[in-house]
Structure formats: structure tokens, C-alpha cells
Amino acid sequence: MNAGLDDLPVIDGEPDAAYLAKALRRAGRTATVDGVEVTALTGGRQSNKVLSLKSRSAGAYVLKTFPRSSWRDAIFEAGNVEPALWTAGVTRDLPPPLNCPTIDLVHHAARDEEWMLMVDVSHGIMGRGVYDEDRLNWLFGALAGLHARYWEKNEALASLPLVPLEANIAYFAEPAAALGGRVPVDGWVKDVIENFVVLKPFLPVFLDVLGTADANFYLDLCQHRADWVAALAELPQTLVHGDIRRANVAPLTAGTVSIFDWDLASCAPAASDLTWYWFLQFWCYPPNDGLDIANREPLREHYVERLVELLAPRFDRVTFDRSWDLCWLKVFVQLGFCLIDPLVGKHSPEDAERVRRAVRRAVDEAKRICDVHLR
């Protein structure tokens, strides 16, 4: 399924000055492109090929390419979600101050790929270890607007090219169960393990730090997930980005919050976007400010206040708090292995102790959630 992608403009050639000039014209932008410096962006953990295109005369852009057919099709069902959401108009018409930097999308015939051109907004990405409460309030207030727009609009959500909730979870949980010896390493599970480059080196270390009993608890959550996935599905659903993390957001100003990399966009509880960010940025890679996770609570309250403004009586705080817990459990299953990142490679005894404390705290939180909501 590649909704709306069959009618794209068709091109050939290389990502050069001629390509950029034509793309800018298609986007309604007038610029002289005298030359283009092309650099592969390999520093992050991208799932697609990404190039930086810089022109002294025309500015800086990012080109992301999507093979028309992918190993992910067997699990995601929705094809190339990010370009399909753009052709459907979803990411071209986000509620202010949200903005998607994509300006052009074409089909490259010879390579059988979609080429998505974006304005380079990397200057707005917050640096590692940075905690800027004002900019994060811009981000979470903007996300509240997105979540409110699609809140419980089930017919509209069903019509969109989104990754199903179970598929979104299974993409992480089933390969983890396979690496833990619970299910066979074959089919799309094998493809994920081979292509999701951090999973294979990280997961065994994570299981070792957990110890036998807690590793079995974690693998049980991965393998036997029907109850907690069903509990998530019963909560109010909306459109979620699915991968809200530092490298995918650029809170440029209070009036412009740019979000990109929509590959995991799903129909899910709104809290899943926030807990994803919380887990990665406050549990796994905390800012260098000496503050505890509890000190980030004003950010969540800012989001809730904005959501209440937009939804009024449709928002129920008790239900939202339940969704927060269950969405936190979801991300623990999907990304728990990120907690041990400092131990992959050279590390100190202090690193090892700090990671063990973080893992212990996360396991205790996961068990609390299970006791409260799933027993």
C-alpha cells in the first residue's frame, strides 16, 4: 500500500544542481542553483538513505529516499508512511505551530524510489544533553494541537496510511523476543534484526544487565503482549508521530515547531508520543543538569493544560494518566535496550553502576504499571 504515491512527478538523474533547481520550482520557490555540495548523513540511526544538499545560492536541504518496496512492508502494512502522509495532505496541513519541512516529493523511475526533499532545519535541533524548558514547551504544546485535531476521529484515522498499533509494537518486541530465544529468527523478524543496527549489539547487553528473573519478565512482555496491547487499544486514539526524539524535532521558535521522520506514525493514545520522548531523553540519555525525571513534570502539565484547552469536556485526566502508564510500558518494551547504551563499547565502572541503577528503576516502574493496570 503506497496511498497517493502512484501519481507523483517522475524524474531520473542524480541529486545534483539540476535536480534541486527543478524541485525548488515544483515547490514554488524561485532560486538560482549554481552548484550543490552533496554529503551522506550517516551520524544518526536513520532507517533510510539521507543526503545533505547545500547550495551557496539556494540554501540547505535534506533529501530522504524511500525504496518503493521494502523489507518493512511485511510488518508495517502501510508502505512508505512518511511520503504517503504528505501526499494525503496530513503533514502539509499540520495545526500551527507544527510544521513539516518537506517541500517536494517525486518518484525516481530508474531507482524505483520516492525522493523527498526537505528544508534543512538541523540548526533547530537541540544538542545532546541540552534541556531547554521553553523550547520543549513549544514542542509539547504543538503536539497537543496535533493530538487534539485527530482525537477519537476513528473514521478519519482509519483512512490514513498509518502503521497499525500492534505492528508498531511488534516491530520492536518480536525481534527482541527472538534475540532472547523466545521465538524463531526468521521472516520479517530476521530482516529487522539485520537492518535495525542497534538492536543486535544492544539487546544481549540489556538482558545481561537485567539478570535472569527480570530478563524473563521483559521477554514475557515482548512475547505475550496481547493483554497490554489490548489495553492500549481501548484508550482514546489519535494520530501520533511515533518517533518523537531529539533528532526528529526542531523547536525553532514559539511559532514554528518542525517535526520530521514520520516513518512510525500510528493511530495510538496521545501519551505514546510524550512517553517515547520521556523515556529516551530523560531515562536513557538524561540532560547534563543534575535534575531527576520527576523534575520534568512541568513539561507534562503544560501539555495537559493545552490539551484541556483544545478538548474541553472530551479530555479525562484519569484516562490520560492510565494511558501515560501503559504508553510508558510500551516504550519500555520497544526501547528498553537503549538504557544500556553507555555499556556498548568502552566504559567505566561508574558508567556500569549508573546504568544498573537506571535499569533497576525502569524495571520497578514497569512492574508497578503491570500491577496497577494489568492484574
Domain boundaries, the chain: 5-120, 128-373
pLDDT of res. 46: 53
Domain 5-120 fold is Phosphorylase Kinase; domain 1 (3.30.200)
pLDDT of res. 45: 52
Beta bridge partners of 251: 257
Backbone angles phi, psi at 353, to 5 degrees: -70, -40
Instruction: State the Cα angle at 279 between 313 and 75, rounded to 5°.
Output: 85
pLDDT of res. 30: 84
pLDDT of res. 1: 47
Rounded CA-CA distance 41/58 in Å is 19
DSSP 6: G
Instruction: Give the up-direction half-sphere exposure of residue 130: CA atoms within 13 A in the CB hemisphere.
Output: 13
In tens, the pLDDT along 261-286 reads 999 999 999 999 999 999 999 999 99
Rounded CA-CA distance 354/351 in Å is 5
In tens, the pLDDT along 233-249 reads 999 999 999 999 999 99
Q: Please name the residues in contact with 11: beta carbons below 8 A apart, sequence gap of 6 or more.
A: 19, 22, 106, 107, 108, 109, 115
Low-confidence ranges of the chain (pLDDT < 50): 1
pLDDT of res. 288: 86
What share of the chain has pLDDT > 90, as a percent? Answer: 89
Q: What is the pTM of this model?
A: 0.95
**R_g of the chain, CA atoms, integer Å:** 21
Contact 142, 250 (CB under 8 A): no
pLDDT of res. 18: 96
Kindly report the CATH class assigned to 128-373. alpha beta
**Cis-peptide into 184, omega within 30 deg:** no
Domains 5-120 and 128-373 share a fold: no
pLDDT of res. 42: 80
